[in-house]
């Protein structure tokens, strides 16, 4: 299977429960969700005129809407060139695509895998993949967060700036009908002071975890 890849690079995971883990990020192109605060809007569209050679998306901080069509086998070949053994598949919205083949092959070479998704599309992945759902409610694209995604999540990483965002999250959690152990992380949008204070207060009150986007404070990709 082929995937539209915006960039592949090695860094430290800066968000959620995996913060601090050396990771290879595979960023896929394409996302119709339309989050107003998205910091990767360049990944939203997959347009033929922006299709490039694989060499232009490897080990770069792309920040453009260029993408390369890479097979699972080619991605595996690239991943083997790095030291990290934890793979984060993000976007864009990675669950626009069936990730089962890719994540299965990555497991086969001894890598752990994680996907970061809005939860608005069916999650198709290897059963050992760690799933981070960052639920997006009321976004421009009009997509609903799927109960199946909430049930599959190992971690909910919820961006917040207001009390309404917390109310939205609590409503989503009531939809879950799974006994699977899951961690809830609150992530202040854009590290704004009030959002951070609200996240800290809410995490303490609910025994949730704070996610602070460490990579942005450290000025790394």
* Binding-site residues for [4Fe-4S] cluster: 31, 35, 38
Binding site, annotated residues for Mg(2+): 40
Among 203, 106, 220, 124, which Cα is nearest to 160's? Answer: 203
Binding site, annotated residues: 12-14, 27, 31, 35, 37-40, 90, 92, 134-136
Binding site, annotated residues for S-adenosyl-L-methionine: 37-39, 92, 134-136
**Backbone phi and psi for residue 209, each to the nearest 5 degrees, phi listed first:** -115, 145
Rounded to whole angstroms, the maximal C-alpha distance in the chain is: 50
- Alpha-carbon distance values, 65 to 54, 61, 115, 163, 190 (Å): 14, 12, 20, 34, 22
Q: Rounded to an integer, what is the distance from CA 85 to the centroid of its chain? A: 17
Binding site, annotated residues for substrate: 12-14, 27, 90
CA distance 194 to 56: 39
Q: Rounded to an integer, what is the distance from CA 49 to the centroid of its chain? A: 26
């Amino acid at each position: 299977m082929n995937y539209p890849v915006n960039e592949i690079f090695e860094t430290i995971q800066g968000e959620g429960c995996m913060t601090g883990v050396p990771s290879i990020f595979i960023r896929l192109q394409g996302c119709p969700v339309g989050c107003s605060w998205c910091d990767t809007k360049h990944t939203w569209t997959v347009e033929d005129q922006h299709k490039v050679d694989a060499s232009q998306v490897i080990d770069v901080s792309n920040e453009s809407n260029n993408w390369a069509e890479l097979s699972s086998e080619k991605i595996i070949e690239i991943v083997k060139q790095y030291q990290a053994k934890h793979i984060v598949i993000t976007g864009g919205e990675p669950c626009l695509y069936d990730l089962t083949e890719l994540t299965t092959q990555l497991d086969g070479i001894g890598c752990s895998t994680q996907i970061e998704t809005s939860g608005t599309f069916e999650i198709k992945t290897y059963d050992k993949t760690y799933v981070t759902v960052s639920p997006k409610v009321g976004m421009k694209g009009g997509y609903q967060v799927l109960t199946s995604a909430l049930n599959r999540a190992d971690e909910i990483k919820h961006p917040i700036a207001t009390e309404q965002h917390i109310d939205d999250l609590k409503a989503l959690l009531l939809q879950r009908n799974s006994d699977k152990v899951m961690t809830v992380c609150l992530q202040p949008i854009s590290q704004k002071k009030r959002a951070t204070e609200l996240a800290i207060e809410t995490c303490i009150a609910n025994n949730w975890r704070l996610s602070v986007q460490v990579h942005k404070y450290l000025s790394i990709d």
